[in-house]
């Protein structure tokens, strides 16, 4: 069955958003009178949505047992992240080249992220990525988030593609497990935020070094040329 759609994770796959997330996190911690965290620590906690991020941050500060504090921290983080969102985020190498290659192949594109819509949509606009995507599935679009398959299946339905016609590209176990559960081909990039673990251990169909390399991987399979994944863009 030929591929007709590509689903892409956002944070850690298309954009390095850790600087913005770290800035918002540490501004929140300052408001709470807590010590800041190194950017590398914040990076290790990203991947399951902002609520999970804040819960993990507070647990690191031994402040996870107070529901009122959790609620206040969430509100503070949202306020700060609206200010920092997209300020220091940068596209990974090969992203724009890969997205243009997908477009030339006539593939339909969707973002599937656990980030809430209130942050996802402005970030796509500020980064210049919004025009590439027919569909954006955010962390609050469906009742379930990745690693559940529902967000991926929802994106396929919106794009008019069967799961077997889609490829999911992500950087973490959440993306891999969601794709596997949905019956969707899964590719992983090695440079993102897989909770500090190597993507070599993920159950995916292949590992590609960039979005541009992913486009070449798909192109080869659409044209029936070869079976070896490209290791670099």
Active site residues: 9
d(CA 132, CA 135): 9
Query: Six-digit token pair at 37?
Result: 């965290």
> 86-120 burial, b if ≥16 CB within 10 A, otherwise e?
beebeebebbbbbbebbeeeebbbbbbbbbbeebb
Distance CA 191, CA 201 (A): 14
Give the 3-state secondary structure of 183-196.
CCEEEECCCCCCCC
Among residues 220, 175, 180, 222, the alpha carbon closest in space to that of 199 is found at 175
**Structural contact between residues 50 and 119, judged by C-beta atoms closer than 8 angstroms:** yes
Residue 92: partners with Cβ closer than 8 Å, 6 or more residues away: 13, 14, 15, 16, 189, 191, 210, 211
End-to-end CA distance of the chain: 25
Are the CB atoms for 102 and 6 separated by under 8 Å? yes
């Amino acid at each position: 069955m030929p591929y007709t759609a590509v689903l892409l994770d956002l944070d850690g796959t298309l954009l390095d958003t850790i600087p913005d997330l770290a800035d918002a996190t540490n501004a929140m911690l300052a408001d709470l009178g807590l010590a800041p965290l190194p950017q590398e620590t914040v990076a290790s906690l990203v991947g399951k949505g902002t609520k999970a991020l804040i819960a993990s941050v507070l647990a690191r500060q031994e402040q996870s047992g107070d529901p009122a504090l959790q609620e206040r921290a969430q509100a503070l983080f949202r306020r700060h992240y609206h200010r920092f969102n997209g300020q220091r985020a940068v596209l990974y190498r090969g992203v724009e080249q890969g997205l243009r290659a997908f477009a030339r192949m006539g593939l339909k594109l969707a973002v599937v992220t656990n980030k809430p819509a209130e942050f996802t949509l402005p970030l796509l606009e500020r980064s210049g990525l919004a025009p590439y995507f027919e569909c954006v599935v955010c962390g609050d679009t469906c009742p379930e988030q990745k690693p559940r398959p529902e967000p991926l299946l929802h994106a396929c339905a919106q794009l008019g593609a069967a799961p077997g016609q889609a490829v999911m590209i992500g950087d973490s176990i959440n993306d891999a497990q969601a794709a596997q559960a949905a019956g969707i081909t899964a590719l992983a990039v090695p440079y993102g935020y897989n909770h500090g673990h190597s993507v070599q251990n993920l159950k995916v169909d292949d590992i590609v070094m960039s979005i541009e390399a992913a486009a070449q991987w798909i192109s080869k399979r659409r044209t029936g040329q070869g079976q070896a994944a490209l290791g670099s863009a």
